[in-house]
């Protein structure tokens, strides 16, 4: 773990197995490094290409982080481009320590809303969901050690637009989750086209865990067994919504019901 | 236009300029060809790889379409894979005639909800929006002849999951749109983080055109000039939502307000 970070080791972080082994992941872009720094993330190493790093904010941030003793791997523009997943790399990246947590031992807070995910094929969908989760004030993600849900995948991190750092990432086992549920009794609400209730007809006023299935197969048997209620999002046509869309509609419905200042009745618009 | 469809011509439909020139686009997969056929789309040519086409439904559909006189381009599995954008190609595709319409000359229907888009960078986002638009009963998309919004891009078609065929695609000019708006007075509602009203505090009970800006720059000046109201989606943290998420929240809010059977007040869940 204390071996210096080389270009090759950073590149290897594209693979989940290497992220697991080193308990690290790679982020890039000034916006992301700022978000990580603001959130107090543990930096293992900066990755810098001085020629590409033109942003004054990015330059200042790099100096500040180096002054705090964080090592830097300085690479050429070509090397940085090869690491990067964006069209116009900004020349600033970082290897950050993964920050997985256990389920909160004192149970969920009254206002908690968690997302429980068992399988997501598209990392971009996961990142988009994380972005909406943070925007709607959700507490975080619960992942069941499944290799198919990884919020630290480069595509998920990028699509989260920094929201990663507003969420708590919990990794646990099914057994632990069942015990936690029995002890603290939050509402587990599963989303599925076969749900018996409209998602807007269920109360989310106590702590809630939203359970989302996979894009293709929906809720699996283990997920269904956890749910207190299964809800559907009504549709005029089609048989399902994109997973990130479905999750986002649920997240905003939870928030809507909890808003202290209720939304006034819609007012008519003036004539155009 | 009557030249036979060759592999090379079908491949060229990946490019917008070629889709425009030939007024055609390519779809693949049994699900998509079924949706196109059910919707009465005009097929110019089937693309078949017999070895890959194992689905009995797909085989039957191909036979029925060929019996109706639709020509078929028969290719090898390798050739089909090269055309395909999916991991497991099903061996059935089709070249379909683009079906762009003008703005409805007799104005919008009372229940109409349209999406007006000026720029979308990610075709997948556009397809996802189309899927939600169809699911929520929207009438269609209005595109201002912009080369950056193309619902017939292969990535958009695929992400729409067939919803393309439940929507009306309108292409028009800014000038035509202004005249249409003046004549029929639908509500133009723009979504922007700077909006002055909560999106749930505005009435969508008359015909509505939802105006979405680009992922990066939001509403442009021309879009802002069209809007009767600008609404924002509240956020606890972060500065914006993914465009497809924002559009989907608006689409479902429109539908919610129009539902004839109002949603009952949320009922508490039983104990777990």
Give the mean model confidence (pLDDT) for residues B146-151: 81
Cβ <8 Å between B134 and A237? yes
For residue A179, give every residue at least 6 positions away whose Cβ sits within 8 Å of its Cβ, in sequence order, or none: none
Under the banding of pLDDT at 50, 70 and 90, the label for residue B119 is confident
Alpha-carbon gap, residue B256 to B193, rounded angstroms: 22
Asked if pLDDT for residue B269 goes beyond 70, the answer is no
State whether residue B168 sits within 8 Å of chain A by CB: no
> Which residue in A137, A202, A240 is closest to B266 by CB distance?
A202
B16 or B272: which leads in pLDDT: B16
pLDDT band at B260 (very low <50, low <70, confident <90, very high): low
Interface confidence, given as ipTM, is 0.90
Put simply, the answer to whether A238 touches B136 (Cβ < 8 Å) is no
Closest CB to B236 among A137, A204, A268: A137
Q: What is the SS3 assignment for chain A? A: CCCCCCHHHHHHCCCHHHHHHHCEEEEECHHHHHHHHHCCCCEEEEEECCCCCCCHHHHHHHHHHHHCCCCEEECCHHHHHHHCCCCCCCCEEEEEECCEECCCCCCCCCCCEEEEECCCCCHHHHHHHHHHHHHCCCCEEEECCCCCCCCCCHHHHHHHCCHHHHCEEEECCHHHHHHHHHHHCCEEEEECCCCCEEHHHECCCCCEEEEECECCCECCHHHHHHCCEEEECCCCCCCCCCHHHHHHHHHHHHHHHHCCCCCCCCECCCCC
Instruction: Tell whether A42 lies on the interface with B, counting CB pairs under 8 A.
Output: no
State residue B130's pLDDT score: 97
Residue A233's nearest CA partner among A254, A223, A214, A247 is A247
Query: Is the predicted pLDDT of residue B34 greater than 50, yes or no?
Result: yes
Chain A residues near residue B201 by CB distance under 8 angstroms: 263-264, 266-267
pLDDT by residue (tens digit) across A103-115?
A: 999 999 999 999 9
B249 to chain A: nearest residue by CA? Answer: A249
Interface of A with B in 223-252 (CB under 8 A): 228-229, 233-238, 240-242, 244-245, 248-249, 252
The per-residue pLDDT for B148 is: 76
Report the residue of chain B nearest A184, measured CA to CA.
B272
pLDDT tens for residues A247-271? 999 999 999 998 855 455 455 444 3
B121 touches chain A (CB under 8 A): no
| Res A54 pLDDT > 50 | yes
Q: What does the radius of gyration of chain B's CA atoms come to, in whole angstroms?
A: 21
Q: Write down the pLDDT at residue A270.
A: 42
CB A222 within 8 A of CB A254: no
Q: Please name the residue of chain A whose CA is at the shortest distance from the CA of residue B186.
A: A272
The shortest CB-CB distance from A132 to any of B128, B162, B241 is to: B241
- What was the pLDDT predicted at B271? 38
Taking an 8 Å cut-off on Cβ atoms, the answer to whether B270 and A161 are in contact is no
Can you tell me whether residue B87 is helix, strand or coil? coil
CB-based burial of residue A197 (10 Å sphere; 0-12 exposed, 13-18 middle, 19+ buried)?
middle
pLDDT in tens, B46-103: 999 999 999 999 999 999 999 999 999 999 999 999 999 998 999 999 999 999 999 9
For residue A68, count CB atoms less than 10 angstroms from its CB and return exposed for 0-12, middle for 13-18, buried for 19 or more.
Answer: exposed
pTM: 0.91
The per-residue pLDDT for range B213-229, each reduced to its tens digit, is: 887 888 988 899 999 99
Greatest Cα pair distance, chain A, in angstroms, is: 68
Q: CA torsion sign, A87 to A92 to A94 to A99?
A: negative
Distance CA B174, CA B144 (A): 6
| pLDDT surpasses 50 at B182 | yes
B-contacting residues of A 170-189, CB under 8 Å?
A: 181-182, 185, 187-188
Tens-digit pLDDT profile for residues A180-189: 999 999 999 9
Look at residue A271 in the predicted model and tell me its pLDDT. 38
Residue A59, pLDDT above cutoff 70: yes
Q: Angle formed by the axes of helices B243-258 and A123-135, to 10°?
A: 60
């Amino acid at each position: 773990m204390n071996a210096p970070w080389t270009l090759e080791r950073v590149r290897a972080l594209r693979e989940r197995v290497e992220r697991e082994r080193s308990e690290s992941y790679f982020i890039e872009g000034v916006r992301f490094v700022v978000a990580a720094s603001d959130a107090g993330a543990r930096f293992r190493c900066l990755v810098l290409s001085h020629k590409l790093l033109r942003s004054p904010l990015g330059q200042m941030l790099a100096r500040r982080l180096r002054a705090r003793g964080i090592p830097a791997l300085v690479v050429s523009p070509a090397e940085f481009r090869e690491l990067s997943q964006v069209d116009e790399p900004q020349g600033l990246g970082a290897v950050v320590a993964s920050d997985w947590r256990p389920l909160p031992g004192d149970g969920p807070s009254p206002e908690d809303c968690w997302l429980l995910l068992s399988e997501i094929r598209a990392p971009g969908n996961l990142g988009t969901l994380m972005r909406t989760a943070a925007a709607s004030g959700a507490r975080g993600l619960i992942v069941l050690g499944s290799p198919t849900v990884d919020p630290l995948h480069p595509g998920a991190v990028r699509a989260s637009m920094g929201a990663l750092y507003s969420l708590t990432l919990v990794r646990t086992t099914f057994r632990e989750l069942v015990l936690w549920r029995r002890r603290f009794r939050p509402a587990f609400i599963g989303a599925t086209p076969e749900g018996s209730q409209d998602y807007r007809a269920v109360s989310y006023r106590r702590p809630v865990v939203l359970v989302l299935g996979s894009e293709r197969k929906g809720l699996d048997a283990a997920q269904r067994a956890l749910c207190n209620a299964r809800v559907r999002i009504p549709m005029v046509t089609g048989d399902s919504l994109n997973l990130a869309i479905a999750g986002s509609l649920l997240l905003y419905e939870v928030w809507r019901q909890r808003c202290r200042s209720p939304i006034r009745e819609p007012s008519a618009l003036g004539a155009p």
